[in-house]
Amino acid sequence: MHLKDTSSLRLSWFIANRIGSGGKGRLSSMGNVIAVLSVAVSIFVIILAISISRGFRSQMLEKMAAFAGDVNVSVMLPSGGSDMINADQYSLAPLKCRDDILELPYVKSVQGVSYRPGMIKTEDNIQGVMLKGVDTVQAEDAAYISGKMADMLGFKIGDKATFYFVGKAVKVRRLRIAGFFSSSIENLDKFYVICSKKLVNSLNGWEEDRASCYQIMFTDHNDKAYPVRKTRIGNMVYSSMEGENYPRVSGAMDDMVNIVDWLRLLDMNVMIILVLMIAVAAFNMVSCVLIILFENISSIGVLKSLGMKNSGIKKVFLAKSSRIVLAGLIIGNVLAIAFCLLQHKYHLVKLNPENYFIDHMPIDISWWSILAADVISFLAIMAILLIPCHFISRIQPSKTIRVR
């Protein structure tokens, strides 16, 4: 009986299920187990790297937006920059397009913010600070400082702090430490003091409706959608503020370039991990396929003698290999997702916030990213496995079939 040349997937799976069905060629053999574990570990690391990278990106964009706004409308100076050190010298009138901006589906809020540079003086220290006045702080004698600044200057909640503001005349204010905050970003924690916008406007000699800038917060922090959103809001602002100080429309991603570059470096690291882990899994799978081929040389000879072509036999062994890869992918996915969910809920892995800007390893699970990683890993490994399958074409039935 002769078999006709066929590419039937059902036939390939049928024969693959019976190759190595007993003895040392079983799926549970050491070589196959190592291959499954290799694929599982690789996809576990890949999913973890993607989720951590997304987590860092989400956390950092949120922290940056909390201080600088997703989009920030400030005064454009003659030099083309934004002079925060002399922020008390420049102000903007209320945004005429505020209501139109709030109607955009991705805009959460628009608030005016006023700045004033100053100093905190204690018995032992003098610390330069930037007062950030916001509408949400109502009490004019209240000030919120970072926990790091409190430790550095020895303040507790309820203490009175003396602030000095230098201008045409030195102004002094005694403010009550109403609470602490932490951005985990050193430059912000050591520099900013949150207080009432009414207080800052009074120090600057402005009317209550003026502001140093307007911070526009989004409902989400999508860095890919950011350029389009910023451009649209910028066009609205520029067309509505004729006659005012020419505005500068920027955002957290523009003003904190060092952190954005750090996030991009994380993305590059994820790509390197993806390539390395696929390479490791593929190497182990190649070894596994070669072992399966050597163990089943006689079976290959029989299939060739029955008329099956090399391409059909390759499909048989690729079908068998795909079972191993899929088993590894399933195990790796289950373990990775379980770990990510536990880390997201319980913060099992802690980090040093001075180095990583956050006190725990952040996790942001994206099901589409996980699916893409699975598909890419599977296709890449199976493509690499075509290399050892070329060994099949060199097998001659007359030398491999043994009659006992």
Q: Domain for residue 53, yes or no?
A: yes
270-324 pLDDT per residue, tens:
899 999 999 999 988 888 887 777 777 777 777 776 667 777 778 888 888 888 8
d(CA 155, CA 245): 39
Residue 398: what pLDDT? 53
Amino acid, single-letter form, for residue 383 = A
Whole-number Å distance between alpha carbons of 222 and 159: 40
The alpha carbons of the chain give a radius of gyration, in whole angstroms, of 32
Q: Is residue 74 located within the same domain as residue 192?
A: yes
Q: What is the rounded average pLDDT of the residues 371-376? A: 96
- Please name the residues in contact with 360: beta carbons below 8 A apart, sequence gap of 6 or more: 343, 347, 349, 350, 351
Computed over every residue of the chain, the mean pLDDT equals: 84
What is the tally of structural domains in the chain? 2
For residues 383 and 315, state if they share a domain.
Answer: yes
Gap between the Cα atoms of 383 and 224, Å rounded: 31
Phi, psi (degrees; rounded to nearest 5) at 140: -75, -15
Which residue has tokens 């930037």?
A: 130
* 4 belongs to a structural domain: no
pLDDT in tens, 224-254: 888 899 999 999 998 887 655 667 888 777 7
Q: Which residue, 374, 273, 361, 291, is CA-closest to 325?
A: 374
Residue 20: per-residue pLDDT: 54
Quick one: tokens of 292? 């399966």
Which is it for strands 192-196 and 213-218: parallel, antiparallel or unpaired? unpaired
Q: Which among 110, 175, 184, 182 has a CA at the least distance from the CA of 143?
A: 175
Is-contact 241 96, C-beta < 8 A? yes
Q: Is the pLDDT of residue 404 over 50?
A: no
d(CA 244, CA 249): 14
Indicate if the pLDDT at residue 403 is higher than 50.
Answer: no
User: What's phi and psi for 167, nearest 5 deg?
Assistant: -155, -140
Residues 53 and 108 in one domain: no
**211 and 265: one domain?**
no
Question: How much is the pLDDT for 6?
Answer: 42
Give the DSSP H/E element, type plus range, for residue 145. Answer: strand 142-146
CB 251 within 8 Å of CB 136: no
| Residue 345 neighbours by CB under 8 Å, 6+ apart | none
Between 162 and 354, where is the model more confident?
162
255: in domain: no
pLDDT band at 260; cut points 50, 70, 90: confident
Q: How far apart are CA 209 and CA 94, in angstroms?
A: 6
Closest CA to 225 of 251, 247, 248, 264: 251
Same domain, yes or no, for 88 and 222? yes
| Cα–Cα distance for residue pair 207/336, rounded to 1 Å | 56
Mean pLDDT, rounded, for 109-126: 92
Domain edge (last residue) among 224, 250, 276? 250
* 194 touches 144 (CB < 8 A): yes
**Secondary structure letter of residue 162 according to DSSP:** E
In terms of domains, do 379 and 395 share one?
A: yes
**For position 193, what pLDDT does the model report?**
96
231 with 360, same domain: the answer is: no
Whether residue 147 is contained in a domain is answered as yes
Domain residues for the domain of 84 are 70-250
| Tens-digit pLDDT profile for residues 334-347 | 999 999 999 999 99
Interval 16-69: pLDDT, tens: 666 655 444 454 467 788 889 999 999 999 999 999 999 988 888 888 888 778
Examine the domain organization and report whether 30 and 138 are in the same domain. Answer: no
Domain contains 394: yes
| Contacts by residues 382-385 (CB-CB < 8 Å, ≥ 24 positions apart) | 382/318, 382/321, 382/322, 382/325, 384/282, 384/285, 384/286, 385/282, 385/285, 385/286, 385/289, 385/318, 385/321
Residue after which a domain boundary falls, among 199, 222, 250? 250
